[in-house]
Amino acid sequence: MAAVINYDDVEVGTELPAQTFPVLRENLVRYAGASGDFNPIHWNERFAVEVGLPNVIAHGMFTMAEAVRVVTDWVRDPAAVVEYSVKFTRPVVVPDPEGAVVEVTAKVAQKLDDRRVRVDLTVTSDAGKVLGVPRAVVQLA
């Protein structure tokens, strides 16, 4: 499926629909199984605290994947995302049983050549940015 957003219909400053993503320990266990990353800091509270963390933390790549859903839901074609990068700045702490929430906003920051746009995201949890400089380049119709 090709991107359904037309390049000519998008302006710099266009805001994508914001989303929030709940993060529970069970999400982290499932992600560990899918990714093969069974580091106990992502599921064992005792271990996480022993190594100096405040609690279990979400996998960085899990957080990164949740965030880009704002872009893929907007463009309605995950393959339209041709570049995506972030800096991991702060972990998402996932207490049990309440979990955490990752909040994502995004807007078109720049129109590029070849019908592409750069989308800048803001990704927070517990009122703090958890991803620094998250950007996606999207190929539009």
Quote the pLDDT of residue 67: 98
Any domain includes 84: yes
What CATH code is carried by the domain that includes residue 119?
3.10.129.10
Any domain includes 70: yes
Which residues span the domain enclosing 78? Answer: 13-139
> Structure pTM?
0.94
Any domain includes 2: no
Any domain includes 128: yes
pLDDT (mean) for 40-44: 97
Any domain includes 8: no
Other Cβ atoms less than 10 A from the Cβ of 62: the count is: 24
pLDDT in tens, 96-109: 999 999 999 999 99
Any domain includes 89: yes
**Residue 85: pLDDT over 90:** yes
pLDDT (mean) for 105-119: 98
Quote the pLDDT of residue 4: 83
b vs e for 71-100, b when ≥16 Cβ sit within 10 Å of the residue's Cβ? bbebbebeebbeebebeeebbbbbeeeebb
Assign 2 a pLDDT band (cuts: 50, 70, 90): low
pLDDT (mean) for 53-64: 98
Any domain includes 5: no
Quote the pLDDT of residue 3: 67
DSSP structure string for the chain: ----S-GGG--TTPEEEEEEEEE-HHHHHHHHHHH----GGGT-HHHHHHTT-SS-B--HHHHHHHHHHHHHHHHT-GGGEEEEEEEE-S--B--TTT-EEEEEEEEEEEE-STTEEEEEEEEEETTEEEEEEEEEEEE--
Total of domains in the chain: 1
Any domain includes 121: yes
Quote the pLDDT of residue 1: 57
DSSP structure string for 85-108: EEEE-S--B--TTT-EEEEEEEEE
